[in-house]
Amino acid sequence: MVVWSQPARADLRSIHDFIAHDSRFYAKKVVQDIREKTDILERVPRAGKKVTELNEDTVRELSLYSYRIIYKIKEEGIFVLAVVHKRRDLKAGNIEKQ
């Protein structure tokens, strides 16, 4: 089961709102594509690569467009922690690890 954390859902809303200034169509498409990208995690939880800034084997990321979808693998399921732009300087304190 893939569970989206509150911060990750807030990230999606921010991404949508930013893109929607130019195109509501593409804002909806990008958010939908990001959500669909995580569907594979139910079958293959380690599909993403390890997040080097955090150096934890259970915290991984998928990449789509210019975004990093950061998630944590736990016994109870997969928890999406954040969706961040690739140019953002990611620090361990910026990600709530559930």
> For 5-51, what is each residue's pLDDT tens digit?
999 999 999 999 999 999 999 999 999 999 999 999 999 999 999 99
Cβ-contact 42, 78 below 8 angstroms: yes
Alpha-carbon distance of 66 to 43, in angstroms, equals 24
Global pTM reads 0.90
**What rounded mean pLDDT belongs to the chain?**
92
Q: Which two tokens stand for residue 86?
A: 């690739």
Could you give the CA distance from residue 80 to residue 59 in angstroms, rounded to a whole number?
A: 10
d(CA 48, CA 69): 9
Residue 88 pLDDT level (bands cut at 50, 70, 90): confident
Measure the CA dihedral 89/90/94/98, to 10°. Answer: 160
Q: What is the mean pLDDT of residues 64-74?
A: 96
The residue with greater pLDDT, 92 or 4, is: 4
